[in-house]
Amino acid sequence: MLEFDGLHKSFGDNHVLDGVGFTVAPGTMFGFCGSNGAGKTTTMRIAMGLVRPDAGAVRWQGHHLDQEIRRRIGYMPEERGLYPKMKVGEQVTYFARLHGLDAAAAARASEEWVSRLGLGERRGDPVEKLSLGNQQRVQLAAALVSRPEVLILDEPFSGLDPVGVDSLAEGLLDQVRQGVPVVFSSHQLDLVERLCDSVGILAGGSMVATGTVEELRRREAGRLLRVVVPDAAHGWAAGLPGVRVVSEQAGDTLLELAPGTDDQSVLAAALRTGRVRHFAWREPTLVELFREVVAAPGAPEAVAS
């Protein structure tokens, strides 16, 4: 188990992390979400020994992370840490050697990941000649080349085109299938929802929600009902008791029902306006859940990055 346990961190008067904690089981993917400045990058830097926490710890298999354990972690920082004039293949091989692979194993692993991430034809090019998306692929290859026991990735999908996103996603899912715990931060919540076994939402340095997407749906969101009434006047549902209009456009209305509100009374009101073309419950997306928990009364304000 990868454990982030009660992390606190301040920079002067700026309190960045306030008791951040979550766990990631082997063979699962954890999506770490939060607005800019919520504290995601600081949390990952603490795990990699780049920032010292004021309190709390990060553990892998019950052991505090030291330099030896960190050599077995694949880390991808948000800012690219590549040597721009070094060739792609040589660079990935170099990172493999830094993680302890011998020359032959490093060369084989470099060839595998460079090809697998669609960079085979660019292996002899300097990194500075690549597009930003392809540089991102090189950074990921550097994180994966040592066959890490753990993956910690900060905004790995940033700058990738749809083909690159699919290639990276498949690479991460393959690591999960091999039992590797994967933590990645992302603003692309549709990807988090599609790929991750569990999710943590950070706001103002505090964890405001953790669990599977389904658990968050049950715990955080109200009941969303989509009603399509083509002939209804705008605002037809605005006065219904226990009902909040989330959105309304051209007869397509999304409603949030308070606990205990009878959906049949909503249906009856819709029928009074005319023909009802669609009436069904709709599960909230992770984007809606994120907005719900971050904007909830008492949720912490975002502070620093």
32 touches 184 (CB < 8 A): yes
Pick the closest to residue 38 from 139, 133, 154, 132 (CA basis): 154
Residue 23: its pLDDT value, please? Answer: 94
Residue 305: its pLDDT value, please? Answer: 35
Residue 296: its pLDDT value, please? Answer: 56
Q: What interhelical angle do 162-177 and 132-144 show, nearest 10?
A: 10
Domains of the chain (ranges plus CATH)? 2-217 (3.40.50.300), 222-283 (3.30.70)
Q: Mean pLDDT per segment of 10 residues, for the chain of length 305 residues?
A: 94 91 94 88 93 94 90 84 90 90 92 87 91 85 89 87 83 91 90 91 88 76 82 91 91 89 93 93 79 61 39
* Residue pointed to by tokens 């089981």: 25
Residue 303: its pLDDT value, please? Answer: 39
